[in-house]
Amino acid sequence: MPRRTPLVIGHRGAPGYRPEHSRSSYALALELGVDAVEPDIVVSRDGVLVVRHENEISGTTDVADRPEFADRRTTRTIDGAELTGWFAEDFTWEELSTLRCRERLPQLRPSSASFDDEQPVLRLRDVLDLVRAASLAQGREIGVVLEIKHATYFASIGWDVAALVDAELREAGWAAGELPLTIEAFESTVLFALQERGVVATYVYLLEAAGRPFDLLSAHGKSALTYRQTAAPAGLDGLAGRVDGISVDKRMILAPDKLGRLGGPTAVVADAHERGLRVYTWTCRPENSFLIGQFRGRGGASAFGDWQSEWTVIRDAGVDGVFVDHPDLGVAFFRS
């Protein structure tokens, strides 16, 4: 049976309802019918691939309240930005496994925050096994969209992230096309390294609305293409045949002006499709806080605005995949 489009991808599970990257966040997304879930990975001190959106972990775990880890607080420069906190690479997996997940945005999502401090941090292997089990239980193919974080930074402290990912996927039975696997990153070099290792996947290059990818900035300085240049026709020409698709900040489709008024849909989806590239976009969220100005309503940042109108523009642009925080809304809207 052909896959339906757009694919509805549970972004870090179902973080509109449960703390991101927690087991219940993934379980709920799978139960609500997503086509795939999206774990982000960072690396522990002993080389375990840990599911966290960032390697600075104080915003999504209870580490800052753990006296035994108080001395691990430090300052690091990650992808050119100075951060102070607790970093996954300073902890063994055994230590990380004692931490508990917390809601990243407790003021915005207090219902999700009510599940704080209940669930342990997961490894990539845990999520791969969970998705495989759900596929068997539900009798349908469910995919994983694996996002690799900060590969150049981890290389600078001695970790070959492509080698770690390759080994983990092979051991888990996800490297040879057995189940639908997409691998994405904001750095193309780690994608190409995994292609060279023969990992069978859909390869997607993530594009921010501004700035430059850190791997190319490190290698080429200011002569590196910006993300915006990469999304332009000449930049897409250079990606055709090298990756399978791009995943863009939704603002690159919506093109809001300084007052938050819709300027799109832009040509980025059509331009990519002309070159045989798929287009995913992130992140479709219903809260006012995340909508462009034109679609915000009353009730404050956490209230739902006119998300249907914003999502209609995205759907009608012809995207191939959408990342959602509320899988029930995403499945209902993009399947209707």
Q: How many CA atoms lie within 13 A of 180 on its CB side?
A: 16
d(CA 161, CA 164): 5
Sort 68 into a burial class: Cβ within 10 Å, 0-12 / 13-18 / 19+: exposed
Strand 143-148 with 181-185, pairing: parallel
pLDDT category of residue 4 using cuts at 50, 70 and 90: low
Task: For residue range 248-288, list pLDDT tens digits in order.
Answer: 999 999 999 999 999 999 999 999 999 999 999 999 999 99
Task: For residue range 282-300, list pLDDT tens digits in order.
Answer: 999 999 999 999 999 999 9
User: What Cα–Cα distance (Å) separates residue 111 from each residue in 15, 30, 288, 302?
Assistant: 10, 19, 16, 11
Nearest residue to 186 (alpha-carbon basis) of 233, 218, 138, 150: 150
- Interacting residues of 18 by C-beta distance below 8 A, sequence separation 6+: 24, 25, 28, 112, 115
Output the DSSP codes for 240-274.
Answer: BTTBSEEEEETHHHH---TT-------SHHHHHHH
Q: Which helix (H) or strand (E) holds 188?
A: helix 188-196
pLDDT category of residue 5 using cuts at 50, 70 and 90: confident
What does pTM read for this prediction? 0.97
Asked if 44 and 21 touch (Cβ cutoff 8 Å), the reply is: no
Give residue for tokens 């759900």: 134
pLDDT category of residue 336 using cuts at 50, 70 and 90: confident
User: What Cα–Cα distance (Å) separates residue 1 from each residue in 4, 141, 336?
Assistant: 9, 10, 18
d(CA 312, CA 246): 20
| 2 pLDDT higher than 70 | no
End-to-end CA distance of the chain: 18
Task: For residue range 160-210, list pLDDT tens digits in order.
Answer: 999 999 999 999 999 999 999 999 999 999 999 999 999 999 999 999 999
| 15 pLDDT higher than 60 | yes
Nearest residue to 187 (alpha-carbon basis) of 175, 166, 170, 204: 204
113, 119, 120, 122 alpha-carbon torsion, rounded to 10°: -80
Q: Which helix (H) or strand (E) holds 207?
A: strand 202-207
User: What Cα–Cα distance (Å) separates residue 315 from each residue in 27, 155, 191, 311?
Assistant: 26, 37, 27, 6
Rounded mean pLDDT, 237-242: 98
- List phi, psi (to 5°) of 26: -65, -45
Considering the four listed CATH numbers 3.30.450.40, 3.40.50.2000, 3.30.390.50, 3.20.20.190, the one that applies to the domain covering 7-55+121-335 is: 3.20.20.190
| 99 pLDDT higher than 50 | yes
Task: For residue range 60-95, list pLDDT tens digits in order.
Answer: 999 999 999 999 999 999 999 999 999 999 999 999
| 3 pLDDT higher than 80 | no
Output the DSSP codes for 282-302.
Answer: EEE--BGGGS-GGG--SS-TT
Task: For residue range 111-155, list pLDDT tens digits in order.
Answer: 999 999 999 999 999 999 999 999 999 999 999 999 999 999 999
Task: For residue range 198-217, list pLDDT tens digits in order.
Answer: 999 999 999 999 999 999 99
**Mean pLDDT score of the chain:** 97
